[in-house]
Structure 1
Amino acid sequence: MMIIRTLATGSTGNCYMIDDGQTRLLIELGVQFKKIQRALNYETSKVAAALISHSHKDHCKGVQGALDASVDVYMSETTEREIGIQHNRIRRYENKKQFRVGTFTILPFDVQHDVENHGFLIQSDNGIKLLFATDTYYVKYRFTGLTHLMIECNYSRKILDENVESGRIPEFLANRIIGSHFSLENLLEFLKANDLSRVQEIHLLHLSDTNSNEEEFKRAVQATTGKLVYVP
């Protein structure tokens, strides 16, 4: 069993909840914590911890609120320094070193962005193996035995190029997107390169408001993988 809920996604803020029936985790705190509390029906005491991938505000805006609500928040030393918050509830993780939270074993791994950023391989004692990766243009690692994916599909190169040509997106912004976010094309190549034999669900995250097409992306990933695909 794995419950996955998207509380917020996109450039305005990101926050996700996963629950294996025994341990509840938040991944990203990119909106005000009061909004997260409302979305969880104020059952904050059931949250074992929160994971932060990197220091951009749409992923860490609610950190202070979570800490003040006595939630342990895991982040790298670099992210802690960049956010600039000190608190006894902050827990540091290290790249490619596993740690435990309740029934979850969590392995952070480096991904490619414009600041230090991490994905997470999260394994539950009940056999679930979930991959989370966002705000990266490429994932260099390969995985086996995955059961769930929560992964960015921010834009397609075709839509982005059309927006640049029409003047909707300036070229410098397009270049930043290409160098920091996962395109549909790169995601499809990543999926083809990994073992998806046990995958039950794929959740596409962080779609761009202007450079994506939800139905097109969903169809493309379903056609490539043959798996259930959700777009929050």
Structure 2
Amino acid sequence: MVMSLFITSLNSGSNGNCYYVGNEQDAILVDAGISCRETEKRMQRLGLSMHNVRAVFISHEHSDHIRGLPVLAKKYQLPVYITPRTLQYGGLALDENLVIPFRGYEPVRVGDLLVTAFPKLHDASDPHSFIISYRDVKVGVFTDIGSPCDNLISHFAQCHAAFLEANYDEAMLEQGRYPYHLKRRIRGGNGHLSNSQALEVFKVHRPSFMSHLLLSHLSKDNNCPQLVQDLFNLHANGTNIIIASRFEETAVYRITGTPQLHQSEFSMMPVQFSLF
């Protein structure tokens, strides 16, 4: 029996971030930056059930990652895995019994899933990225990263699929309308990954078995989805390149841990049926 994880971006961008990773029984959300109602609507359109979501993991306290969390957690009584500093600086009103602190490099079991956080470079109080594992299948969520540190590189190289930030095109940012201090923040090492930085990570550190790459957190003003798609397609080498939208959910993609299957027509196709 082939073990699989199913993944989708429910929304990705400065207007809200929420990523779904799960097997047939158990799922988690990484971040909850869109409203509870919108999360429900998008999952329903994909044939996914909120009742299979066992927990939410929060990467950091910026509003586009936590905006929908209080209502979502309360309605579904979802455990919220969050570091103490992220909870403090996020100003979140959460039921104490739902809050579970996590620490970097210490795996957390959620049903049959194993979730491991690791620190990243970003201008937040205690930011983390995540690897979600099910048996031999690994999916990474790597967004809001100022620069490709050793942590990112070593974890990216383990993934059968990944959400990887490609926030801005350098020329568009430089020539754009943002004030200088904001441009400096974005490209200053604790802001966001550029297209070229993300591409270098992909080209140099992509494992041969990576079947899907969802390019995430694209800037509305300083990037272009088609530009990113074309840039990465040139170097895809069998990896399915998907642009995660800031306006709608992606399809659901099935990720298997069997390297010889990763280029097959089946595994490259989005899942269009109800999983639950």
TM-score exceeds 0.5: yes
Partner of 1:4: 7
Partner of 1:172: 181
Partner of 2:167: 154
Counterpart Cα distance in 2 of 1:206 and 1:213: 11
Partner of 2:267: none
Partner of 1:43: 49
Partner of 1:74: 81
The answer to whether 1:145 aligns with 2:158 is yes
Q: What is the CA-CA distance between 1:188 and the residue it aligns to?
A: 1.6
Partner of 2:200: 189
The answer to whether 1:21 aligns with 2:24 is yes
Q: What is the CA-CA distance between 1:213 and the residue it aligns to?
A: 1.5
The answer to whether 1:122 aligns with 2:132 is yes
Partner of 2:120: 111
Identity across matched positions, percent: 26
- AA aligned to 2:110 is V
- TM-score, normalised with respect to structure 1: 0.92
SS in 2 for 1:224: coil
Paired residues of 1:202 and 1:228 also in contact (CA < 8 A) = yes
- AA aligned to 2:129 is G
Q: What is the CA-CA distance between 1:225 and the residue it aligns to?
A: 3.6
Moved over 6 A (4+): none
The answer to whether 1:213 aligns with 2:220 is no
Partner of 2:66: 60
Query: Which whole-Å deviations, capped at 9, do the CAs of 1:157-211 have from their partners, x for residues lacking one?
Result: 1211121xxxx22111111111301111111222233242110000011100111
Counterpart Cα distance in 1 of 2:216 and 2:33: 13
Q: What is the CA-CA distance between 1:90 and the residue it aligns to?
A: 1.3
Paired residues of 2:17 and 2:34 also in contact (CA < 8 A) = yes
Counterpart Cα distance in 1 of 2:233 and 2:85: 36
Counterpart Cα distance in 1 of 2:163 and 2:18: 12
Paired residues of 1:196 and 1:225 also in contact (CA < 8 A) = no
Paired residues of 2:21 and 2:132 also in contact (CA < 8 A) = no
Paired residues, number? 227
SS in 2 for 1:150: strand
What root-mean-square deviation, in Å, do the aligned CA atoms of Structure 1 and Structure 2 show? 1.6
Q: What is the CA-CA distance between 1:217 and the residue it aligns to?
A: 1.0
Q: What is the CA-CA distance between 1:214 and the residue it aligns to?
A: 1.0
Q: What is the CA-CA distance between 1:66 and the residue it aligns to?
A: 2.1
Q: Which runs of 5+ in 1 are unaligned?
A: none
Counterpart Cα distance in 2 of 1:47 and 1:171: 41
Paired residues of 2:34 and 2:64 also in contact (CA < 8 A) = yes
